[in-house]
Structure formats: structure tokens, C-alpha cells
């Protein structure tokens, strides 16, 4: 077989989500990429290597000896003004946790892909969202995507927002293991000119660590300083909302993508009585189920949360308050949490506290460890949510779906 080189200028590509992000690295002219293998994130490594071998991507590509070093290296590279990309999955991401935590306070715009994976032991590599969600409190911006094309757009978006001087925060793009990292879909590519127009070069200004700009970063601070530093990081995260809205407007215009809300996707919700809410690729069975139930005359819809940090509370408050009941699907768990609910459930419950009318809600945990969320289980979740709409409250606030008993 002739090994063909990837011509990323082709208008249409048959690529996986990981491949899309690797190509985005080439088009964004990333300077430093670090890697350490773990499935399913390792797929991105393969494509990055291939692009480098083909001469399409020119960057420092460092295979570290562990995830901890992997994230430390790009952290430092980012401080000297390099555009960076890295990533991991599952416990690999956790092994880098110290580096993940400090990147936020240092205000370094690291962009990472998390190929979502269960936290083993027990050894498992199917999708669960707990890996990426673990950094939700620290100052990481978190984005969940649904298709290979969205993965590519989200990568450009991530650099643009993270490197904005108003923000300087790290951003992780979550791609569901298998469903996105391992399946090849048709993607309509932006041109290099479009990417260049959308994404300016990374300019760290006078925060750049360089002999010509002698600065010290990350000194020791104690109770006299730290809370002010946290408050600064918090302000940057709060500013991210507007920067994301601005960037999405530009992207829609420059890439000729369909007008879309930056934070949430609403599917057939307009006249819906009952909707389910979730993140990532489970939208596929959910959308199909919505169409099938609508054929039977049931008014149902689906809302997909795209940004988890900053959390789209204003959008969800407007979108969700109009329904008779809502069901929140978590592909994660938060054991011992209120109502024993998952992470998304708990966040949405909190976001809706001040809303009137406040829709009755129910939570579902399903699809853990990469178990398929089927049309049957989606239908079951809609049925349960209809019951909640009828009675006005959930008898059992949280159900596990698709578990062998």
C-alpha cells in the first residue's frame, strides 16, 4: 500500500475527532506539542506524528516520560510565548493533576484534548466524563463536543479564547472515547485563510518569560496574597463568557458555519413538553429518539451542553424553565452528592434554583464505561421524565439506566 500524505487543504475530509484536532494543530501552527500514550487520547498522537512525518506540521513534539512532565513542559512553553497543545485520558490526566492545577493560577493558555475515559482500576477504556470534570473547580475552561467537525472548530475556539489577553486560562476539549476518537466522519474543512483570520497569533505581551523581559512567575505566596490571586482567576473565568460569544460570532461568520448558540444546542425544543439534557456524543441516540417519539405525537426535545466551564447558567435558565419537566443525563457520577445525582444534574439543579417557574427535574446516570446509550434507554428516560411532568415531582430523583441488576 502506498502511504499517502495527508493533504489538509482538501475541502472535505474523512477523519476522526482526534484526527480533526491534530489537523487543527497544523492549521493553528502550534509551536509545542507534548504527549504520553494512553487510550483513547493516543489516537491524536498518531495523527500528530503522521502530520509531522508528512511535513505538514512543524513543531517541537516531545514525548515525555509521564503525563506529569507532559503537562509541565507545555506549561513552561506557554509561559515563553509558545502556542501549545497536549492532552490525555482517564487516569493519565489524573497523573498530571499537579500541573493541571497550577496552570490556572499562572494564567497559561494551555489547550488540551481529553479523550474521555473511565478511571481504572478496574481496567477499562470506555467513555466516562469524570476525568475532565475533575478540574471543574480550578479555572480550566471545559468544552464537550459531539462531532469531528465540532472537535476541529472547538480546537480553534480554544486557542482563540484561552490566548485572549482578557482570559489567559487553560482550556480542555472533551471528546468521547470511541464515539469521536475512533470513528471517521465527513468533515467540511475551513481554509487556511479562514483559520488565520479567525485565530490571531498568541501574544503574551509583557507576561512573556524571556531574557529580554526579565520577570519572575509563581513566587511563594501565603495568606497575604492567595485569595486575591484566586479572585483574579475568577474574574478571568467570568470574562470568558463574553469572549466566547464574540469568538463564536466570528467563527460563524468566517467559517460560514450555521448560526449557533455558543453554549448550548437545542434540538426540537420549541414546542416541547419534556426535554433531556446531556453532553457529548450521546446526542446521537437522543436526537434519533426525539424524532421517533415525535412521530408518535410526543412533544420531546434535547438540549446539549457544549461549554461546562464557564457554565452556561443564563442560557439554561432561559431554555429550561419553559418545559413541564426536564431530565438530566450524566455520563459521570458524583457519589454521595445531593440526590445521589451526577455532576451535570447537580450543576443544573443549582443553576435553576432562582428560576420561576422552576421545572420539576429528574437525573439519570447512564453510559458509564462506554456502555452504549441506546434508543431504548433514551426512550426509557423520556418516559420517566413524562411521569415527572405529570406528577410535578420525581418520586426517585436519580435513576441509573441500562445497568444489569
Partner 1 sequence: MAVTAVEVVYRGIFQRLLSRAICRTIVLAARKEGKIGTAFGRYSDSPERNGIPAKYFAVVADDPLELQETLAQYEPKAVDVSIVVDDSLCKGVESWAWYGLQPINELTKEGGTVLVTSIQESADLLEDMHVKDTPYNLAIVKGPKSFSGLWVYKDDHTDVRILGALAKVCPQLVGIDAYKETIREQWDELKETSANRAYDRVQSTPVEPGQGNPEEPFSFDMPGWETMEEALVVRPVSVGGGFRGGEGGFQPERNEVFKKWSTRTMRPVINFETCTKCTLCWLQCPDTCFDVTPEGLYDSDMESCCGCGVCEDVCPVPECITMVHESNFNDNSSQHDHWKRDRDGYMAWLEEMRAASTTEKADVGRTHGFYEVGQYEKEFEQTGVAGDD
Site residues for partner 1, 252-291, by CB under 8 A, read: 284-285, 287-289, 291
**Cα distance between residue 162 and residue 198, in whole Å:** 14
Query: How many residues of this chain bind partner 1 (CB under 8 A)?
Result: 33
Near partner 1 in 124-163, by CB under 8 A: 125-126
CB 278 within 8 A of CB 305: yes
Q: Report the alpha-carbon distance of residue 242 to residue 265 in Å, rounded.
A: 18
Site mask for partner 1 (CB under 8 A), range 372-391, x = bound? x-xx----------------
CA distance 60 to 63: 10
Work out whether 174 is an interface residue with partner 1 (CB under 8 A).
no
Q: Which residue has the cell 472533551?
A: 174
Interface residue with partner 1, options 22, 27, 38, 40 (CB under 8 A): 40
Residue 185 sits in the site that holds partner 1 (CB under 8 A)? yes
Of 34 and 378, the one with the shorter C-beta distance to partner 1 is 378
177-191 core/surface letters (b: 16 or more CB in 10 A; e: else)? bbbbbbeebebebbe
Binding partner 1 by CB under 8 A: which of 360, 363, 370, 402? 370
The 3-state secondary structure of 301-323, one letter per residue: EEEEECEEECCCHHHHHHHHCCC
Out of 36, 95, 168, 179, point to the residue binding partner 1 (CB under 8 A).
Answer: 179
- Nearer of residues 4 and 220 to partner 1, judged by Cβ: 4
Among 7, 11, 12, 259, binds partner 1 (CB under 8 A): 12
User: Residues 29, 50, 97, 184: which binds partner 1 (CB under 8 A)?
Assistant: 184
Cβ atoms within 10 Å of 291's Cβ, excluding its own? 12
When binding is defined by CB under 8 A, the residue of 29, 64, 119, 183 that contacts partner 1 is 183
DSSP state letter for 3: -
The answer to whether residue 186 forms part of the interface with partner 1 (CB under 8 A) is yes
Position 122 contacts partner 1 (CB under 8 A):
yes
Torsion of CA 172, 177, 180, 181, to 10 degrees: 90
Sheet holding 325-330, edge to edge: 264-267, 300-305, 274-278, 325-330, 361-365, 398-400
Interacting residues toward partner 1 by CB under 8 A = 1-4, 12, 14, 16, 40, 121-122, 125-126, 177-179, 182-186, 284-285, 287-289, 291, 370, 372, 374-375, 403-405
Amino acid at each position: 500500500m502506498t502511504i499517502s500524505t495527508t493533504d489538509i487543504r482538501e475541502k472535505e475530509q474523512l477523519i476522526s475527532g482526534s484526527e480533526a484536532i491534530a489537523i487543527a494543530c497544523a492549521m493553528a501552527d502550534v509551536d509545542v506539542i507534548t504527549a504520553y500514550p494512553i487510550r483513547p487520547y493516543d489516537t491524536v498522537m498518531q495523527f500528530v506524528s503522521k502530520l509531522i512525518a508528512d511535513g505538514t506540521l512543524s513543531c517541537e513534539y516531545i514525548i515525555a516520560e509521564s503525563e506529569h512532565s507532559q503537562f509541565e513542559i507545555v506549561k513552561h512553553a506557554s509561559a515563553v510565548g509558545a502556542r501549545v497543545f497536549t492532552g490525555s485520558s482517564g487516569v493519565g490526566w489524573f497523573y498530571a493533576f499537579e500541573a493541571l492545577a497550577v496552570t490556572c493560577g499562572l494564567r497559561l493558555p494551555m489547550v488540551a484534548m481529553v479523550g474521555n475515559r473511565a478511571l481504572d482500576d478496574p481496567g477499562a477504556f470506555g467513555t466516562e466524563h469524570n476525568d475532565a470534570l475533575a478540574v471543574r473547580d480550578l479555572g480550566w475552561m471545559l468544552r464537550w463536543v459531539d462531532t469531528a467537525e465540532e472537535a476541529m472548530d472547538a480546537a480553534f475556539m480554544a486557542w482563540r479564547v484561552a490566548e485572549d489577553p482578557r482570559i489567559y486560562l487553560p482550556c480542555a476539549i472533551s471528546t468521547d472515547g470511541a464515539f469521536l476518537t475512533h470513528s471517521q466522519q465527513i468533515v467540511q474543512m475551513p481554509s487556511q485563510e479562514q483559520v488565520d483570520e479567525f485565530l490571531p497569533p498568541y501574544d503574551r505581551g509583557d507576561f512573556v518569560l524571556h531574557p529580554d523581559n526579565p520577570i519572575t512567575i509563581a513566587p511563594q505566596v501565603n495568606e497575604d496574597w492567595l485569595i486575591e490571586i484566586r479572585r483574579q482567576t475568577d474574574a478571568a473565568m467570568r470574562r470568558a463568557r463574553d469572549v466566547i460569544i464574540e469568538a463564536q460570532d466570528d467563527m460563524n461568520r468566517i467559517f460560514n458555519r450555521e448560526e449557533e448558540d455558543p453554549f448550548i444546542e437545542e434540538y426540537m425544543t420549541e414546542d416541547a413538553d419534556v426535554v433531556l439534557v446531556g453532553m457529548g456524543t450521546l446526542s446521537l441516540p437522543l436526537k434519533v429518539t426525539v424524532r421517533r417519539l415525535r412521530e408518535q405525537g410526543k412533544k420531546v426535545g434535547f438540549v446539549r451542553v457544549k461549554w461546562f466551564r464557564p457554565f452556561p447558567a443564563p442560557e439554561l435558565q432561559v431554555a429550561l424553565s419553559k418545559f413541564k419537566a426536564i431530565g438530566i443525563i450524566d455520563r459521570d457520577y458524583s457519589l454521595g452528592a445531593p440526590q445521589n445525582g451526577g455532576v451535570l444534574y447537580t450543576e443544573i439543579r443549582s443553576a435553576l434554583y432562582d428560576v420561576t417557574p422552576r421545572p420539576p427535574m429528574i437525573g439519570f446516570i447512564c453510559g458509564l464505561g462506554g456502555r452504549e446509550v441506546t434508543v431504548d434507554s433514551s426512550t426509557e428516560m423520556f418516559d420517566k421524565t413524562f411521569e415527572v411532568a405529570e406528577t410535578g415531582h420525581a418520586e426517585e430523583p436519580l435513576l441509573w439506566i441500562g445497568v444489569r441488576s
